[in-house]
Every structure is written in C-alpha cells, then in structure tokens.
Amino acid sequence: MARGYDHQEIEKRAQEKWAQLDLYTTDLTNTEKDPYYLLFEFPYPSGDLHIGHWYAFAVTDIYARYLRMKGKNVLFPIGFDSFGLPAENAAMKNGADPKEWTYANMDRMRAQIKSMGTSVDWSKEIVTSDPEYYKWTQWLFAKLFEHNLAERREAPVKWCPKDQTVLANEQVVDGKCERCGTEVVEKRLTQWFMRITEYAERLLADLDALPWREDIKEAQRAWIGKKEGINIDYEVEGTGERIQCFTTRPDTNFGATFVVLAPEHPFVKLVATGALPSEHADEVAEYIGVASKKTERERQAEEKEKTGVFTGYCAINNLNGAKLPVWVSDFVLGGFGTGAVVGVPGHDLRDYDFAIAMGIPVVRVVVGPDMDSSPITRRSQVQEATGTMTNSEFLDGLDIHEATKRVMDHLEENGWGKRVVNYRIRDWLVSRQRYWGCPIPVVYDPEGTPHLVPSDHLPWLLPTDVDFTPTGNASGSPTGGKAPLASSKELHDRVTKIFGEGWTPEYDTLDTFVDSSWYFLRYLDPKDDHDFSDAAMMKKWLPVNRYSGGSEHTTMHLLYARFFHKALYDLALVPTPEPFNERFNRGIILGTDGQKMSKRWGNVVNPDEVVKEFGTDAVRLYLAFIGPYNEAGHYPWSLDGVSAMRRFLERVITLSEKLSNVGGRISHMDVPEEVSRMLAKAEAKSASDSERFKFNTALSALMVLVRDLEGLSEIPRAAYRDLVVMLAPFAPHLAEELWAKAGGEASVHQAMRPAYDAALLESDTVPLVVQVAGKRRGEVTLAPDASEDEAVEAALHIPAVTAALGGKNPSRRVYVPGKILNLVP
C-alpha cells in the first residue's frame, strides 16, 4: 500500500455509509428539484472491467455527483447490453452455456463497478437478455412491423464467414467484419430490415438543431450521405431499351462520351444471356462472373486499374444526339443510384481513367479561371471546376451552378430526366443467424407468410435446447442451411402447439443494436410488465439531458437510436422527436507506449492492480486529469500520473492539520476575504469547466486552490469544508472521510456546492455581451484578457446563441475583449 492513508479502509467505510443512507436511488416522481437525466452507454458484459470501462463510468460519475451538489434530481442509471456474439463464441470454445457465462460476468462486473465508487442507481438496472426486458424489445419490433417499418425481403447482404452471420452495413469497416476483422463476402439472402431510409431526411434535418459537437454531426451527415441530382434517360439504339443514369453533375452532360453500367444492371444481363444479341456476349458474361467475387471496397478503390467490357450497344444523348457506347465496369456499384453512370471523362477522375484505359474520347465542357479550353492531355487537368460552361450549346457562358439548374429544367421539360435525391444510408439489416440474441417474434404459416406472435405470447422465449454451432448458412439462404435456433425441438413444438401443424418459427435473432435502441426508455420504469416504459415519466425525463459515450458509436448506435425513437414518436409512443439532447464522445486510453491497449502488445493496464496500490480516488482523479473529456482524444496511460494524483490527495489531507475554527462558508465574514477569494475562484472555474466535461481543468483549479491554502499559516475550518465539497465528485471516498473530520454532517455528497458572492471574482472577470448577427443573445463572465477562442467557446454554451446560429459554427466572429463578442452565422 502507498503511504499516507489507508485507502482500502476509507473506501469501505464510505461505501457502507452511502448504502446506509441510500444516497443514489433516484425518486423519479420528485417535483421539488429539477430533473436531470445523465446517461452513459451501458456496458456489454465481456468479463472483467478494463480501463476503458473505468474511463466511461468513473469520469461520467464525477458529473453525476457534481449535478446533485448543484441541487438537481439526477437520474444516473446502469444496465447491461447482455446479448451478443462473445457469449456464444465462449460457449463454442469452452463449452460454457452462453447464459451462464454472461450472467457470471455481470455479477463480477457489478462488484467491480461498485468498487469504483460510482453513484449509479442500481434499483433501475436493466439487462437486455432478461425475458422481462426483451418482451418489450419484441413488442416494439411488432409495432414497427405493423407500421411497415420492419420488413422481410431479399437483398444483397454482407456475410461474415467467420462469425457465420450477416452484418449491418455499419458493421463492415474497410470491407471487414467490425468484430473479428474477417473479410466479408456478399450474398443474396432474405433478411429482416428496419426501414431507416424512410427517416433519412429527418435524421439529417433534425441534426441541425441538436447541440452536439459539429464533428459528430458531420459524421452522421456523411453516413446518411444525401445527394441531390437527376436521373437522365438514354435510349439504347436499336433495342427499345432505356438506361437511366444518376448524376449529380448534369451541367457536364454535353461532355458525356460513354455510358457505363454495373455488372448487376438488368441491361447487362440481357446482353450476357443473349436476350439482346451481341458479339461481346461471352466477354460480358465472363466479366459479370469475375466482378461478383470482388468486394465493394475492391471495386471502389480509387487507385485501382479500371477494367470493363463493351456491350456492343450505343445510347443516345438527347441533349445533342451524341452516340454513347455502353460499357460495363465494376467501379459502378449496383446498389447506388440507378447502377448506371454517364461517363464524363473531362470532369470526373474515375471516368477519365476509364476513358483513357478504353480509348474513349475526352471532351472539356467547363473552363476555370486558370484553364484554357485546349484538349485534356493529363489526369491532373481533370479538375473539379468552379468554372464556366463551354462546348455546351445553350449552357455556354453560364457558371456551373446556373448551368446545373438550367439543364435540369430542360431535361425535365422534355421528359428526358427527373430530379431525385439519393442517400448513401441503407436500410438497417437486423436479423442475425446466431443464438444469443432476442428472438424475432414471428412465425410462418404453411404458405411461408410471416405473422407476428400475438402479444399475449410475449416474451417469446429463447429456447435452451439448442446446438450453438452454426452450420454455415443463413436460415433464409437458398442452400437451405440452418441458424442455431432451428435445432430446437422445444421451439418447434411450441409453434405447432400454439399455431398448428405446418407452422414454423423464425430462426433468426435480432441484432443487439435493436436492444440498445430503446434501453434509456426502460430505465424510467424498469419493472413494468404492462408497458415498455411509463408515459408520464417519459414526458418528465425525456429527452436525455446528456449522453456520454464512445466515438465508435456515432454512426451505429447513435443513428439507430435516433431512428428508433423517431419511429416511436410517429406512433405516439414517446413524447419527443429526439432521444438525446447533448452528446459527448469521450477519448480512448492508450497503453503506456502510446499504442492501442492489446494483449498482443503486452501493454494492457489492469485497473484492479492500480486501484489496489493507489486507491480508487487517485485513479479517478488521474482519468479526469488525463485530458478534456468532451473531446475524442487518445491519451497514453502513465503510472507516474496516478501516483502524482495520490500525492495531491495526500496534500489535501495534510492541509487538515492546520485548521482554525472559523465558521461559515465562502462568503462568511469570519473567513478572511483573501481566502474567500481563493475559494470563489476555484468554485467558479471548477464548476464552469465541469459543466463542459472539462474535468482536467476543473481539477487543476482545485490544485491551484490547494497550493494557495498551503501558503496560509491557518486554514478556516469552513474554507476547508468548501474545498472538500469541491473535491467530492472527483475523490468521493476520501472527501467523505475528510468531511467527517472537519465536522461536516451526514454525507458530503448531500452537501450543496459553495455559493459565493460574484463580487469576489470581480477583479478576475468581466461580463461579455454575446451577439449573434448583431442581436444580443446573452452574456458570459470571463477574464478581461480571455482569448477569442475562449470567448467563443463560452458563448457557444448559451442555448440562445446556439439556437440563433442554427446549431452551426459561426462563419465569422468579431471580438472586443471585455466588451462584446459578435458571431455571424
């Protein structure tokens, strides 16, 4: 044990006291205090807690404790996202039962989380694999099914050969399975989808008003990938067939010199099968075969050499009657737009590479200020032009934006095209060919039509007589392979008994992201067996005030949960169109060597050992101090850092040796003004920084205070108590001990933060008027010499300011220190 104090003894004593006082059970119906819903992403019960768990729970806990001391009624719940693959993989590896493995892990993790001194409310705990919970996941699935938002259909899907299951698009990273890193393959399968694309526009539009960091919003915008363009029709000479091409740059259409189709395009099939005669039929058929073995990523690679085959046909450009040879090439994707591209090699790099490789002419139709109109001879001349039209008849001389509008009008007026909006986001694939998940509450009649399991049969239990080993084929696969649930006799008998002979169960289970799309609603009424949540409590507590999580969930969980919530909102099941108000993505703790922690690098930090040596409080302080918590940074772990925090705590203990008996709190007359000033400054900074999840600088304000107090010969007892209160969210155990020593009553965690007279800060700060576009929207208090960035950052925390900016960053700022800050949207 490190010197100075017996942390284990102190931790035990404090935790017993909290339990005795029942400090952290939230009365959701309380009407005296303002409700504040502080949420963190609930953990998957993988086994022992790692340092990332600590970072997620213990640091968010600082804020929960801070808020309570500001007089808020804080809901700070926890649960377990307990369905999922690792349980099943462990089962196959060690022969353990997935349920036993999961529930044993949860027991261990509960004890570890308690040992951190987190102030979570265990009475609201939920476990997604409990039938009491998944009954409502199934019920909500049924609602979505009834409203055509969940549906079964055949589609090309991503399949992980190692995990033996399909994956959602979001679970494929760089062409590999996000879980196990195996290269995914594409298959055509009948699967369950949630129609998130129906909500693409609202998911995008509603981002604007959310007070999230711009980079998080941008990531969602990019994922949704809205593209406005036009589908242009091209007649294929001598066939009676028409090909539609989606383009975002119709302004360049007089420069089109070919059409190129995805190998999946129906016209290509006509050629390959001989339905349309062509001397290139064999080549085309062969090309389709080769392309089907490639992943989307391989096909899209920018630097990849372009391949392709001529179909033998030409399409006619209605604009100028030009003949465009129709090619097939795998750089065109079957699943985006119309699966057909009009090739403009003068102004698109991929088209340029293709044209050069195939000997197709390149025509220039846009000239920029620094370009002449001579023929294009090099790739580098294919510019994304902000230029003027040329070689384009009625468009000549127009800038490209005006030309885009004009040509779209022209194409539509002549019936040659139709404006369209395309989205990159795909429907959310939610069925999995695995065992340890929420059973999809569906059965099939003898004709194979799906029906919902009636609600009086929910929860539709996960059978236990199952062979976990997947046989290598999806349940819906044409080759007839089976998912693990197909091996259950009990499930089969259950369906026959309830529905009749010839009826069969659905064998797939739900993606665990469905379980986690609504768990924060369940915390509001975790034991209700008549409803998924409580309407009055949802009205009072939603949206979640602040949601703390990892940046890896930006385009998965966070997007799914927003979609799910909007769908429930449309069904009048939840009271708000958005589930979360603020969102913060925290960073990642790296190994001491600056690399990602991994057994492979031997750089994994075991929190248990560090906690044993230095105490929970020192580790909490260290994690708070390591960097701003509101930014997704990467922080290398350092034991020296932890021991420095331990020494700081020891200095706080040492201070208690020179307490004088002056009463009162910060502003009290008996406390010398010099001391009141120190305290007021520390409180002002640590509070405002904590509000923004900048626990590192909040803590450094306390370090400054401790240093200042060390300079005094005597410390008023009341002042010391204020210090202990400010320290309590960071070091909850030691603060409890010191509070009692300094004569504080009950628990320090029931104390309010020190109030101070703003006049005490006067010499240090001045009010700064904040305007948006010249209109006054609020005021912040800052040091007169605060930097422009500090001023803007403080101003962006005024809701009226962010609202006036429409949730965007200001494009221009005018700052007169100590007087005024004007932001221009």
The residues binding ligand ANZ (CB under 6 A) are 227, 246-249, 252, 262, 332-333, 336-337, 339, 341-342, 344, 347-348
Nearest C-alpha neighbor of 658 from the set 723, 725, 754: 723
Closest approach of Cβ 302 to ligand ANZ, in Å? 12
Closest approach of Cβ 298 to ligand ANZ, in Å? 14
Whose Cβ is closer to ligand ANZ: residue 227's or residue 741's? 227
Whose Cβ is closer to ligand ANZ: residue 252's or residue 487's? 252
- Compute CA distances 187 → 177, 294, 428, whole Å: 14, 12, 16
The beta strand positions in 362-462, using DSSP E, are: 366-367, 388-389, 417-423, 428-429, 431-432, 438-439, 442-444, 450-452
- Report the SS3 class of residue 322: coil
Tell me how far apart the alpha carbons of residues 522 and 136 are, in angstroms, rounded to a whole number: 9
778 HSE (CA, 13 A, CB side): 16
Whose Cβ is closer to ligand ANZ: residue 200's or residue 442's? 200
Closest approach of Cβ 231 to ligand ANZ, in Å? 10
Tell me how far apart the alpha carbons of residues 573 and 17 are, in angstroms, rounded to a whole number: 40
- Compute CA distances 300 → 186, 190, 331, 538, 550, whole Å: 15, 25, 5, 45, 29
Whose Cβ is closer to ligand ANZ: residue 403's or residue 706's? 403
Closest approach of Cβ 174 to ligand ANZ, in Å? 18
Burial 768-789 (b: 16+ CB within 10 A, else e): bebbbeeeebbebebeeebeee
**List of residues 6+ apart from 727 with CB closer than 8 A:** 652, 702, 734, 735
Q: What does DSSP assign to residue 473? A: S
Whose Cβ is closer to ligand ANZ: residue 367's or residue 769's? 367
Q: Which residue has the tokens 């009624």?
A: 73
Whose Cβ is closer to ligand ANZ: residue 262's or residue 485's? 262
Closest approach of Cβ 17 to ligand ANZ, in Å? 60
Burial 146-177 (b: 16+ CB within 10 A, else e): eeebbebeeeebbbbeebbbbbbbbbbeebbb
Whose Cβ is closer to ligand ANZ: residue 152's or residue 347's? 347
Closest approach of Cβ 722 to ligand ANZ, in Å? 57
Whose Cβ is closer to ligand ANZ: residue 355's or residue 791's? 355
Closest approach of Cβ 501 to ligand ANZ, in Å? 47
732 HSE (CA, 13 A, CB side): 32
Whose Cβ is closer to ligand ANZ: residue 385's or residue 486's? 385
Closest approach of Cβ 382 to ligand ANZ, in Å? 8
Tell me how far apart the alpha carbons of residues 168 and 428 are, in angstroms, rounded to a whole number: 6
Closest approach of Cβ 260 to ligand ANZ, in Å? 9
Whose Cβ is closer to ligand ANZ: residue 43's or residue 334's? 334
Whose Cβ is closer to ligand ANZ: residue 400's or residue 561's? 400
Closest approach of Cβ 275 to ligand ANZ, in Å? 22
Whose Cβ is closer to ligand ANZ: residue 253's or residue 551's? 253
Closest approach of Cβ 252 to ligand ANZ, in Å? 4
Nearest C-alpha neighbor of 428 from the set 193, 222, 200, 223: 193
Nearest C-alpha neighbor of 485 from the set 457, 499, 513, 504: 504
Whose Cβ is closer to ligand ANZ: residue 222's or residue 759's? 222
Tell me the two tokens of residue 348.
Answer: 């698109």
Closest approach of Cβ 320 to ligand ANZ, in Å? 15
Nearest C-alpha neighbor of 224 from the set 205, 209, 240: 205
28, 537 in Cβ contact below 8 A? Answer: yes
Whose Cβ is closer to ligand ANZ: residue 252's or residue 771's? 252
Give bridge partners of residue 422 from the DSSP assignment.
227
Q: What does DSSP assign to residue 130? A: S
Q: Which residue has the tokens 């031997």?
A: 602
Closest approach of Cβ 385 to ligand ANZ, in Å? 8
Closest approach of Cβ 386 to ligand ANZ, in Å? 12
Residue 777 has φ and ψ, to the nearest 5°, of -125, -5
Whose Cβ is closer to ligand ANZ: residue 75's or residue 284's? 284
Helix%, strand%, coil% for the chain, nearest 5: 40, 20, 40
614, 10 in Cβ contact below 8 A? Answer: no
Cis before 543? omega within 30: yes
Nearest C-alpha neighbor of 39 from the set 533, 541, 567, 730: 541
Closest approach of Cβ 318 to ligand ANZ, in Å? 15
- Report the SS3 class of residue 446: coil
Dihedral class, residue 458 (left if φ above 0, else alpha if ψ from -120 to 50, else beta) = beta
Closest approach of Cβ 264 to ligand ANZ, in Å? 9
Whose Cβ is closer to ligand ANZ: residue 28's or residue 232's? 232
- Identity of residue 642: V
Tell me the two tokens of residue 56.
Answer: 């997620």
Closest approach of Cβ 276 to ligand ANZ, in Å? 21
Dihedral class, residue 158 (left if φ above 0, else alpha if ψ from -120 to 50, else beta) = beta
Tell me how far apart the alpha carbons of residues 117 and 803 are, in angstroms, rounded to a whole number: 37
Whose Cβ is closer to ligand ANZ: residue 147's or residue 323's? 323
Tell me how far apart the alpha carbons of residues 59 and 732 are, in angstroms, rounded to a whole number: 12
Whose Cβ is closer to ligand ANZ: residue 282's or residue 412's? 412
Closest approach of Cβ 641 to ligand ANZ, in Å? 45
**List of residues 6+ apart from 439 with CB closer than 8 A:** 134, 138, 460, 461, 462, 485, 506, 509, 510
